[in-house]
């Protein structure tokens, strides 16, 4: 059985060319048993390309490459021609065609796909975190979070958590209720990553009445009464004072505006 060697050459990790080569090899009965692959990742110097071409010649290998820099693609073609080595450009023709159609030059920056993938998975992880640790469901999330939100009911903690999660921040939010002691974890974290959300009694009264009506209930329940709301806000003030965290008035702020305030504070905290 003839053995074939494929050299996978990339200026990034080389996963794309590796997957394509394996997919192609799997179409043959001998398959991967007859085809071996050697990956050359993070190739940045022309001298490395010459060494790879020379090695490919000695091993009678085929060079398969995904190089985003046009200059590097030309060089490996040149070296493969010099050493009489077969080579296949997986990325260049596609990049050139897209650039021609868009009328735009490519960035030619290695690893951008991987960066996009990492960014996507970080966002998904943050969204799942926000759901898991929403509304104080599990106080252990407070210690794991990048940002912790505290406030009375209906101060937009959940939508704000989701908005920040889309910015790749892991957010836990905790409702503060006079009848329930706040979790001990709130007093164990750095107060600079904790934010209290406060709202005027009048605004909260209106929001809660609308909420009760939407649920098909009477709007005069204790939940929406001004006396009850004032009691909750007083309790909130006591807790955030003990935590020592920043308090943000969300009375007339959209979620995006509140998020921008928090992101500004977190950026300064992380410096």
CATH at residue 93:
3.40.50.1370
Considering the domain architecture, whether residues 77 and 142 belong to the same structural domain is answered as no
Residues 141 and 133: beta-carbon distance below 8 Å: yes
Considering the domain architecture, whether residues 121 and 20 belong to the same structural domain is answered as no
Considering the domain architecture, whether residues 61 and 131 belong to the same structural domain is answered as no
Work out the angle at residue 149's Cα, subtended by the Cα atoms of residues 152 and 175, and round it to the nearest 5 degrees. Answer: 30
| Two tokens, residue 211 | 């909420």
**pLDDT(209) > 90:** no
Give the pLDDT of residue 251. Answer: 95
Considering the domain architecture, whether residues 17 and 94 belong to the same structural domain is answered as yes
Where do the DSSP E strands lie in 93-193?
147-151, 171-175
Considering the domain architecture, whether residues 264 and 156 belong to the same structural domain is answered as yes
Domain edge (last residue) among 95, 110, 125: 110
Considering the domain architecture, whether residues 54 and 33 belong to the same structural domain is answered as yes
Look up residue 254 and give its DSSP letter. Answer: -
Considering the domain architecture, whether residues 101 and 127 belong to the same structural domain is answered as no
Give the pLDDT of residue 1. Answer: 63
Domain edge (last residue) among 110, 127, 151: 110
Q: State how far the alpha carbon of 133 is from the alpha carbons of 32, 74, 117, 165, 245, in Å.
A: 45, 52, 24, 12, 19
Please identify which residue in the block is written with the tokens 């390309």: 49
How many folded domains does the chain comprise?
2
Mean pLDDT calculated for residue range 191-199: 96
Give the pLDDT of residue 2. Answer: 77
Considering the domain architecture, whether residues 38 and 161 belong to the same structural domain is answered as no
What percent of the chain lies above the pLDDT cut of 90?
Answer: 74
Strands 171-175 and 194-198: what pairing?
A: unpaired
Domain edge (last residue) among 62, 82, 110: 110
Residues 63 and 7: beta-carbon distance below 8 Å: yes
Give the pLDDT of residue 109. Answer: 87
Give the chain's mean pLDDT.
92
Spell 173-193 as b/e; 16+ CB within 10 A means b: bbbbeeeeebbebbeebebeb
Helix (H) or strand (E) holding 177: none
Considering the domain architecture, whether residues 21 and 101 belong to the same structural domain is answered as yes
Considering the domain architecture, whether residues 137 and 34 belong to the same structural domain is answered as no
Question: How far is it, in rounded angstroms, from Cα 252 to Cα 199?
Answer: 8
**pLDDT(91) > 70:** yes
- CATH code for the domain in which residue 155 is found: 3.40.50
Q: Which pLDDT tens digit goes with each residue over 116-169?
A: 677 888 889 999 999 999 999 999 999 999 999 999 999 999 999 999 999 999
Mean pLDDT calculated for residue range 196-212: 91
Which residue segment(s) compose the domain that 153 sits in? 116-270
**Helices 255-270/157-165 angle, 10° precision:** 60
Considering the domain architecture, whether residues 19 and 123 belong to the same structural domain is answered as no
Q: Give 107's contacts (C-beta < 8 A, 6+ positions apart).
A: 68
Considering the domain architecture, whether residues 238 and 149 belong to the same structural domain is answered as yes
């Amino acid at each position: 059985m003839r053995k074939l060697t494929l050299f996978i050459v990339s200026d990034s990790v080389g996963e794309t060319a590796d997957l394509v080569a394996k997919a192609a090899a799997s179409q043959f009965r001998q398959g991967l048993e007859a085809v071996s692959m050697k990956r050359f990742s993070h190739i940045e110097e022309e001298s490395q390309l010459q060494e790879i071409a020379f090695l490919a010649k000695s091993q009678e290998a085929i060079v398969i490459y995904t190089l985003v820099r046009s200059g590097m693609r030309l060089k490996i073609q040149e070296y493969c021609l010099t050493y009489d080595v077969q080579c296949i450009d997986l990325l260049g023709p596609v990049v050139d065609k897209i650039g021609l159609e868009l009328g735009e030059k490519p960035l030619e920056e290695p690893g951008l796909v991987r960066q996009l993938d990492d960014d996507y998975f970080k966002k998904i992880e943050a969204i799942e975190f926000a759901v898991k640790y929403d509304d104080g469901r599990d106080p252990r999330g407070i210690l794991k979070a990048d940002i912790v939100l505290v406030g009375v009911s209906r101060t937009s903690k959940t939508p704000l958590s989701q908005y920040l999660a889309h910015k790749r921040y892991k957010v836990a939010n905790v409702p503060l209720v006079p009848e329930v002691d706040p979790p001990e974890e709130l007093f164990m974290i750095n107060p600079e990553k904790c934010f209290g959300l406060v709202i005027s009694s009048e605004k909260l009264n209106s929001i809660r009445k609308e909420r009760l009506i939407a649920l098909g209930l009477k709007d005069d329940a204790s939940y929406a009464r001004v006396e009850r709301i004032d009691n909750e806000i007083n309790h909130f003030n006591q807790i955030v004072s003990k935590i020592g965290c920043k308090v943000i008035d969300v009375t007339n702020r959209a979620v995006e505006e509140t998020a921008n305030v928090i992101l500004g504070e977190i950026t300064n905290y992380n410096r």
